[in-house]
Chain A
Amino acid sequence: MTGHDVDRVVVRNGGCVPLASLPPVPWSVFADAMLGDVAAGARVAAYFGTPVPAPFAPDAMLDLFAVLARDDLGELRLLRTRVGERFPSLASRCPQVQMFEREIGEQYGVVAEGHPWFKPVRGHRSWRDGADAWGRNPDVPLVPGEIDYYRVEGDEVHEVAVGPVHAGIIEPGHFRFQCHGETVLHLEIALGYQHRGVERMMTGSDADGTRARQLVETVAGDTTIGHATAHALVREALAGVAAPARAAALRSVALELERLANHVGDIGGLATDVGFLPTSAFCGRIRGDYLNVTAELCGNRFGRGMVRPGGVGFDAEPAVRERILKRMAAIDRDTRGAIRLFFGTPSVLARLEGTGVLTPATARELGLVGVAARACGLAMDTRAQHPPRGEAIGVDQIAVAPDGDVHARGRVRQREIESSLARVKETLAGLPAGTIHTPLPAAAAGSLAVALVEGWRGEIVHVAVTDAGGDIARYKIVDPSFHNWSGLAMALRGEQISDFPLINKSFNLSYCGFDL
């Protein structure tokens, strides 16, 4: 181990490497490689631990893996190191790992030394019996959201607590505002109320893969296709086969339909929050139309059962395809009309512009992904930069808006709606012939596979590590919300507390996708 350039392990999206070719490097090499690559423009796409099989030395009990994405090169660099009960935190030098380090600390009861904000992430017990990074009493039940909140002192400062039970029908999360009058000085977000332990349930032997398939589809219900596709790509990478071209095209159609339904729903949500009635009412209905098209394809409005490891579960026969294209033509017009009205109304623009601004520098530091990152002018889109075999969109098609405010996040969605509409029609019209499913051979033993999918919120990362028998030993899921909740907290700084619902809606992050 002379320099870290020598043992550079690089894969593409959907890549798989034997663990033997990815030996643990000393911490200093690992840290230098991570900091160096991030300084050179890489993002930390995933960073997680796996316990080293017994017998292990107390100073080497946890393997840490990092996946660094180089969007400009389309490369994923893999890093691995071995640490003990404590490991040095890199968060103050590389803020985008802060949540990953807290997650590792909570999952394995290890301490990220020198972490400036070392708090539990989801409020569950550590996976290592008896170990707790915060030394909490094992007999006292853990409650999500019971953490030491950051407090601003002062006679005129007041604290507002919102949630976990909210006024609308939404997921649970706790928001703690430090306010001076109407101005928010700081927002802290506590989640974990929906922690189900998905990552751990994904491990072990799962002969026909049905359980795993159902689990990933419920990581975040609004991103069923996104997570199912990432999972399928990981399984296919481990098995060393690729889905047939027709299946890949149908996956892409389903993914874009999911994007359409959610983006349209989000613009409707923005309209509701600013009290703009027409778009609010229309988009709510149109979102349902897109869900119905997905149901036309696979019988389920959210796309359950559509994407399967090895291909897809449902083919689009000519009759189905005709029906979908006919429906799409009608919805297309309604969608564009409702959105044009929204962005063409001055009182709406007055409300959106300049609200909840994030600078590109902050977005890059926090490692934001997806719509939130593109709205800060960062051109990143997995579909263009890390395409799974042969279905890339052009880099010039990445929808970017420069301003970083609510308006920019709305505009990015508008452009993506337009390009997704075109993409669904094109893909359906030129659907390749052939089968829709290919059987998967046994998964490679002792390997690591990684897959990225541009879900509608942003980049979804799934990583699987297999044991000597080919069973999943560790399954890591990174929902885009995992990165982006920090962005929401930062976007609130100095804003009016009355604008929180609007800014929150412009991010529209997943609670359950974060909580896993």
Chain B
Amino acid sequence: MIVTTLLRLVLLLAFAPLMLGVIARTKAAFAGRQGAPVLQPYWDLGRLWRKGIVVSRTTTWIFWAGPVVAVTVPVVASLLLPMGALAAPLSFEGDVILFVYLFALARFFTAAAALDTGSSFEGMGAAREVTFACLAEPTLLLGFVVLARLADGLTLNALLGAHLAAAWGSSGASLALIVVCLMVVLLVENARIPFDDPNTHLELTMIHEVMVLDHSGPLLGLIQYGAALKLMVLGAVIMRMVLPVDTGNLWLDAGIFLGGQFVLAVVIGTIESVMARLRLARVPQILVGTTLVAVFAVVLVLR
């Protein structure tokens, strides 16, 4: 148990930035470039960690709380979530609700920290982020409703148990719809193309990035590290649904988990390479669309 928990933490904390490196490398390959080394995100974090911090005089402690919460939340949330076949060490009935709203808490603090700076850009970004998050939330919850219907219990361990392999046979359509919906939520939540552009320098078009414009040095490093952790945690949900394999061997399961994450990163990189960004006004429409698709998936399993 302790070995599993430690292994899970190591997997998350050590390998999360690697996903960003793989995404960047995939995009570079599509663009015909060699691209930065896959370990670049680690060097970036190290560089930020050694830098000084500039803090605006208009800010309060909330400005500092944003990055701290942004790192803490994915770690805590990961404790509730099975990572591949590695069961969650912390599990209780209804922990799925806590899982969803932990991320809402992180968003609250990020948005509050953005507003704390008093910058018109960051206010704009916060407004966008909160609007889109409101619309993404029903999709995520409805996805869990489908999983709950197929499982016997309301813990994430139960929801994402080994029974999913069999469930694909009986309720494959619903699960497929939910996977697509969760993929959209994953891209929205992690500020990826086509919903947001993590690489843009154009502050007027940013959603997530613009909220952290005033953070610098280690604080920015915490935010970026937190974002990598979040990508891995949310990615783990999708990976588990697509790849519900339990080998019983701890190391093999860990390897499968990492391999799955690697594939997911390549998929994200591919999506980012072949698509343009959506017009900002289209994003809510897509999210309402995924909510409707998720409702349909619920109807299919209730039938």
Contact = CB atoms under 8 A, between A and B. Distances in A.
Interface of A: 158-162, 167-168, 182, 271, 273-278, 280-282, 345, 347-348, 350-351, 355, 496-502
Interface stretch (B27-35, B40-48, B245-253): B27-35
B279 A499 contact: yes
A167 B203 contact: yes
A167 B32 contact: no
Contacts of A168: 201-202
Nearest to A158: B120
B124 interface: yes
A167 B202 contact: yes
A278 B30 contact: yes
Among A159, A274, A500: residue with most chain B CB under 10 A: A274
A347 B194 contact: yes
7 contacts: A167-B201, A182-B281, A274-B277, A276-B275, A281-B32, A501-B202, A501-B204
The interface size bin for chain B is 20 to 34
B220 to A, nearest CB: 15
A158 B127 CA distance: 13
A160 B121 contact: yes
Interface string B190-227: 00011001011111110000000000000000000000
Given A277-B31, A501-B205, A345 B276 contact: yes
Contacts, number: 89
A53 to B, nearest CB: 50
Contacts of B194: 275, 347
B273 interface: yes
A182 B202 contact: no
A355 B272 CA distance: 22
Contacts of B273: 277-278
Given A159-B120, A275-B197, 15 more contacts: A160-B121, A162-B204, A182-B124, A182-B280, A276-B275, A276-B277, A278-B273, A281-B32, A347-B278, A350-B279, A496-B279, A496-B281, A498-B204, A498-B279, A500-B205
B30 A277 contact: yes
Nearest to A167: B201
B221 to A, nearest CB: 20
B284 to A, nearest CB: 11
Interface string B176-199: 000000000000000001100101
Interface in B265-294: 272-282
Given A277-B31, A282-B32, A496 B276 contact: no
Contacts of A347: 194, 275-278
Nearest to B31: A281
B272 A277 contact: yes
Contacts of A158: 120, 123
Among B32, B275, B282: residue with most chain A CB under 10 A: B275
B157 to A, nearest CB: 37
B131 to A, nearest CB: 10
Given A160-B120, A277-B27, A497-B124, A351 B278 contact: yes
Closest 7 A-B residue pairs measured CB to CB? A281-B31, A275-B277, A501-B202, A274-B276, A276-B276, A498-B280, A167-B201
A351 B31 contact: no
Among A162, A281, A498: residue with most chain B CB under 10 A: A498
A107 B277 CA distance: 44
A43 to B, nearest CB: 32
Contacts of B124: 160, 182, 497
Among B27, B31, B200, B279: residue with most chain A CB under 10 A: B279
Nearest to A499: B279
Contacts of B120: 158-161
Interface in B117-175: 120-121, 123-124, 128
B104 to A, nearest CB: 23
A281 B273 CA distance: 11
Nearest to B207: A498
Contacts of A498: 204-205, 279-280
A502 B281 CA distance: 14
Contacts of B202: 167-168, 273, 501
